A and B are shown apart, each in its own frame.
Chain A
């Protein structure tokens, strides 16, 4: 009968605007390698950081060796025999292997460091687990794989019986991965409990005894590896069902062309073509979705359309008028607004107040300013208070810096500002990235509202489900080009997925 090392029950952890762990149960036995599998942002690292005392859970219980514990800091975790090897190593490059391992738990002789004793302890560990590393070498002289070994040795030196490895293979070469697997098996055979965090299926299959799959902060299930297949795990990770939370209403379209892009070519920062001869049109009452794997030219396309990056060739027409290469301010005046991908970096000025952010780019308009020198503060605040009401922004006052707001409320500020200009065309780039469900729904409803009012929306998203739910037509970008545009009725998820990965497409 295996002994339970760790049991976590109903772990909840929220960060502003994001539910990282929504009531997760997890159990770990001595003598097993337990895989923690899930996509980026599924909550794997947060769950294990809670076990290691780096974060405090909002609620939930933790038991170690059957006893309930409160892990207030990593030093408490270490005393409980829990060790963690982080993705970013906790090593000081300028110090030696020995010094890095010993710090905090130094063998002493009188008031001095006992280097001989340190060396003996380390060499014993090196021997026991076959982790060869020179204890006198400086960490900066070691390869990444060797540094990882030092981290594992450090945890063992501190008496770890429960070892958490956070995406340990991400930084390793093929050979190093093999060596790591050998080490992990040796640790398991010694009776240690190992948590192996990964998002790679084949690794989980290769090294784990049991796998727990997380998705969007929830536990999907735990399966012994003997009952798991890659297909089954993939399905658990990604999920098959698509929940349509909002429903586009039928609209009567006039067929008026709002945006036309002809043979647009855009270069990236290195001067290489990122967008190549892209053409499409957008009409009234329409959402055109642009799907694709990140890094296939979406960013450059959006920047060229919104005046942030000059196109190399091709033309853009806005409501019939040529608008190629116009700066953002002129485009906004012509009715094209932008909901940027990264609200914190480009969407908002974080230390500025909510009211100031709401008039960014409009600050010299008549309603807000009197000539170039005077800002009409009362009108600005008045306008901001209106916007807070109509967009249900939760904030103590319009004078607080937006960095104090949650992610969802920050995005509402961006939406309020951009949609407040009564646009004809909206370019929305990943508008729901990093939001919780309520925040997402709000954005979706706003986009559909725009469509019902007659606007054209260009929705660029990595989330295919989101596009299928909202868009009237779906375009797929691959390596800088549009490989096809499907009307919603004909869009098939599998066919689109294949197109996104560069598979053959029957021309539609």
Chain B
């Protein structure tokens, strides 16, 4: 069997979907000025809630709604800390990651008596998520660059003071886009569950962080970020096939190593929003 087959590219599409969803979410929140490194934990929380709701209700649709809701909620938590209480964005995001990691281990134990995994539960076809990711990225590209709200979003992250004098509520915008980011991460988690059919606490496996990397490579634009996500997905799919030839301990490094290399090349050139990570205060005196 040749390594480069149709199968490989189909597998890449699936592996790239959570990365693309996180990258899209992070694009929105960072354009508004909010860094969220809690995407990793938020995706994990989405997968966990999806598993719990699917297990108890048997409805995969309800389960995905649960994943979206918990993602949005964690986005709200992060936005409250970072935007309104002016906490350091990275610290707040790391807190979300630690919190969810702990809760995941704890709840699998309480609910099923297993360490970090769930039993199999009702799923839906993961290709639905692949299609939704494509659709959302296309819509977002138009939203950000062709609509008045997209223009306002870009001004909020670049020059919040100018946005304020244009009658835009800066902090409310930041809150909304951070919640949106959370919901998209929740959706990424939902995909991961539906792809595997069960929950494991290592299932996100750095795809949240790689999503942030894809956003940087995409330079804060949804379509290029999608392309970057599919590149990472392809490498991941390739690495799985390479395991036949080289020890898996080495091949599994590949996507992460590549992330580091690619980021090193792109990070300096990205058009980072000017006010990224900075709280906005009205009376600047």
Query: Which A residues are within 8 Å of any B CB, using their own CB?
Result: 15, 54-55, 73-75, 78, 84, 90-95, 99-100, 102-106, 108, 111-113
Contacts and interface: CB of A to CB of B under 8 A. Distances in A.
Interface string B190-227: 00000000000000000000000000000000000000
Interface string B148-163: 1001101100110111
A51 B159 CA distance: 22
Interface in B157-187: 158-159, 161-168
A113 B151 contact: yes
B172 to A, nearest CB: 13
B164 A103 contact: no
A103 B283 contact: no
Contacts of A112: 146-147
Contacts of B274: 92
A90 B151 contact: no
B155 A92 contact: yes
Given A75-B166, A92-B274, A104-B163, 15 more contacts: A74-B164, A74-B167, A75-B167, A78-B167, A92-B154, A92-B155, A92-B158, A93-B158, A95-B151, A100-B162, A103-B163, A104-B168, A105-B166, A106-B148, A112-B146
B220 to A, nearest CB: 10
Contact of B147 (A15, A74, A91, A113): A113
B151 A102 contact: yes
Give the secondary structure class of A's interface: loop
Given A75-B167, A90-B161, A103 B146 contact: no
Nearest to A89: B162
Contacts, number: 60
A93 B274 CA distance: 10
Contact of B166 (A55, A84, A104, A113): A104
Nearest to B167: A75
A111 B159 contact: no
Nearest to A56: B283
Contact of B167 (A92, A104, A108): A104
11 contacts: A73-B164, A74-B167, A75-B165, A75-B167, A90-B161, A92-B155, A95-B154, A99-B151, A102-B151, A104-B166, A113-B147
Nearest to B273: A94
A486 to B, nearest CB: 39
A95 B158 contact: yes
B188 to A, nearest CB: 27
Interface string B270-284: 010010000000010
Nearest to A105: B166
Given A74-B167, A78-B167, A112-B146, A103 B151 contact: yes
B167 A90 contact: no
B271 A103 contact: no
B56 interface: no
Nearest to B284: A54
Contacts of A95: 151, 154-155, 158
A74 B169 CA distance: 12
B285 interface: yes
Contacts of A90: 159, 161-162, 165
A414 B165 CA distance: 38
Interface string B113-154: 000000000000000000000000000000000111001101
Contacts of B151: 95, 99, 102-103, 106, 113
B92 to A, nearest CB: 20
B146 A113 contact: yes
B30 to A, nearest CB: 14
Contact of A94 (B148, B158, B164, B283): B158
A100 B165 CA distance: 12
B218 to A, nearest CB: 16
B278 to A, nearest CB: 15
A113 B154 CA distance: 14
Give the secondary structure class of B's interface: helix
B170 to A, nearest CB: 12
B72 to A, nearest CB: 23
Nearest to A78: B167
A15 B167 contact: no
Contacts of A113: 146-148, 151
A104 B152 CA distance: 7
Nearest to A46: B285
Contacts of A91: 159, 162
Contacts of B168: 103-104
Nearest to A79: B167
A106 B155 CA distance: 13
B140 to A, nearest CB: 14
Nearest to A110: B147
Nearest to A106: B148
B163 to A, nearest CB: 7
Contact of A108 (B148, B161, B165, B283): B148
Nearest to A20: B285
Of A94, A99, A104, A112, the most chain B CB neighbours within 10 A belong to A104
Contacts of B159: 90-92
B147 A103 contact: no
Across the A-B interface, give the 4 residue pairs with the lowest CB-CB distance, nearest first: A104-B166, A75-B167, A90-B162, A106-B148
Of A73, A103, A108, A111, the most chain B CB neighbours within 10 A belong to A103
A273 B166 CA distance: 48
Nearest to B155: A103
A108 B167 CA distance: 17
A103 B166 CA distance: 7
Contacts of B152: 103-104
A15 B285 contact: yes
Contacts of B162: 90-92, 100, 103
A99 B146 CA distance: 11
A16 to B, nearest CB: 9
A190 B159 CA distance: 32
Contacts of B167: 73-75, 78, 104
Of B148, B168, B283, the most chain A CB neighbours within 10 A belong to B148
B219 to A, nearest CB: 11
A337 to B, nearest CB: 31
A340 to B, nearest CB: 22
B111 to A, nearest CB: 44
A74 B165 contact: yes
Given A90-B159, A104-B168, A111 B147 contact: yes
Contacts of A92: 154-155, 158-159, 162, 274
A112 B151 CA distance: 10
Contact of B271 (A15, A73, A94, A102): A94
B32 to A, nearest CB: 13
A105 B271 CA distance: 25
A460 to B, nearest CB: 27
A54 B148 CA distance: 24
Nearest to A88: B161
A426 B165 CA distance: 47
